[in-house]
Amino acid sequence: MTALALNRKTLRALLPLASLALVLAATFYAQPRTMSYFGLNLMLQYAVPIALATIAQMFIITVNDLDLSIGPFVGLVGCIGATYLHDTPVLGILALLLCIGAYAAMAALIHLRNLPSIVVTLGASFIWLGIAVMILPSPGGKAPDWLKAIMSLQVPLIPFPIIAALLIALLVHIGLMTSSYGVIMRGTGGNPRAMARAGWSELKTKMVMYGLAGFFGVLSGLSLIGLTTSADAHIADRYTLYAIAGVILGGGEFVGGRVSPFGAVIGALTLALAGSFLIFMRISPDWQIGAQGAILIIVLALRALISAGEARR
């Protein structure tokens, strides 16, 4: 009985990995050329900023909220990175810190006024976009050279995007899943009242989580312009949905502080690869979004199946 339960739990944990392996195998089959250092590097490069945005979203989902502004926020960071950070680094760093502060302030607003996070972040998304357009009215700017250098790093044997993705997942895993403060943060998502009774301020944990989300949003924006070499206010509009889908695909849930950093990163990689696979298969763009949605639904259905088995016992 216990062995079987354990089996289901591992099965659940392995599901994101299995879907990644499946999509990867399908991509290799569709386009054998991708099965090389060069191919993987190229194909997974754009997965790094998506993975970082997904981690940012994961922090918010951990405390039972949802962030609808991460895409435009990443775009704003990109615009700051390609203008201030390039021309006047000190001012640029200050502006980015201010962005992270704004995220923490958003948490305070949501908590103190007891507002739904969806509404506040949706509103914030327009503010980010507005500021981004003000900073960079038309596409352009230049990414700092050190950013470009980091993102085009050539590591022997294993392509850089894979190393970066693993490193991100590992760091967040240590911080959120194994440290004692991480337990508190996840607990706030699981049962905020119990955590408050135990003497942990929900306001403070929420602000820390949103601040962390802001921090990873900044990393995502910077890594993105390191790849594109210049910015555009609309550069990351799609990331909002990618990030939510990545967390869910990676085994996270909307309630109860049930998240997984490794899962989230794997989810982001799966989504990025699925896009490539669909292009290799020459599926018409009108169907591509639908096909990505179908992948999401299939994974969720499998998970529901496993969970249903768990609940029966």
Partner 1 sequence: MKKTSLLVAGALAAITFAMPASADTKDKKIALSNNYAGNSWRQSMLKSWDKVTKQAVADGIVAAADPFTTSENQVTEQAAQIQNLILQGYNAIVLNAASPDALNGVVKQACDAGIIVVSFDGIVTEPCAWRIAVDFKKMGAVQLDYLSEKMKDGGNLLEIRGLAGVFVDDEIHKGIEEGVGKHTQFKIVGSVHGDWAQEVAQKAVAGILPSLPEVKGVVTQGGDGYGAAQAFKAAGRPTPLIIMGNRQDELAWWKEQKDANGYETMSVSIAPGVSTLAFWVAQMILDGKEVPKDLVVPFLQINQADLEKSLETTEKGGVANVEYSKADAEKVVAGK
Q: Which residues bind partner 1 (CB under 8 A)?
A: 31, 33-34, 39, 42-43, 45-46, 137-141, 148, 224, 227-232, 234-239, 272, 275-276, 279-280, 282, 285-286, 288-289
Residues ≥6 apart with Cβ < 8 Å to 253: 61, 259
CA distance 48 to 151: 9
Q: For residues 42 and 66, which CB has a smaller minimum distance to partner 1 in the complex?
A: 42
Q: For residues 21 and 289, which CB has a smaller minimum distance to partner 1 in the complex?
A: 289
User: In angstroms, what CA-CA distances link 139 with 123, 132, 252?
Assistant: 23, 10, 35
Q: For residues 210 and 242, which CB has a smaller minimum distance to partner 1 in the complex?
A: 242
Residue 279 CB, nearest approach to partner 1 (Å): 5
Q: For residues 235 and 265, which CB has a smaller minimum distance to partner 1 in the complex?
A: 235
Q: Give the count of alpha carbons within 13 A of 49, CB side only.
A: 28
Q: For residues 63 and 235, which CB has a smaller minimum distance to partner 1 in the complex?
A: 235
Residue 159 CB, nearest approach to partner 1 (Å): 13
**149 exposed, middle or buried (CB, 10 Å; 0-12, 13-18, 19+)?**
exposed
Q: For residues 202 and 237, which CB has a smaller minimum distance to partner 1 in the complex?
A: 237
282 Rama class: left (phi>0) / alpha (psi -120 to 50) / beta: left
Host H or E run for residue 219:
helix 202-228
How many C-beta neighbours within 10 Å does residue 220 have? 28
Residue 246 CB, nearest approach to partner 1 (Å): 14
Residue 24 CB, nearest approach to partner 1 (Å): 14
- Take residue 85 and report the two structure tokens written for it: 């950070």
Residue 267 CB, nearest approach to partner 1 (Å): 17
CA distance 13 to 252: 10
Residues ≥6 apart with Cβ < 8 Å to 33: 39
Residue 53 CB, nearest approach to partner 1 (Å): 11
Residue 227 CB, nearest approach to partner 1 (Å): 5
Q: For residues 188 and 276, which CB has a smaller minimum distance to partner 1 in the complex?
A: 276
Bridge partners (DSSP) of residue 140 are 231
- Take residue 191 and report the two structure tokens written for it: 């049962």
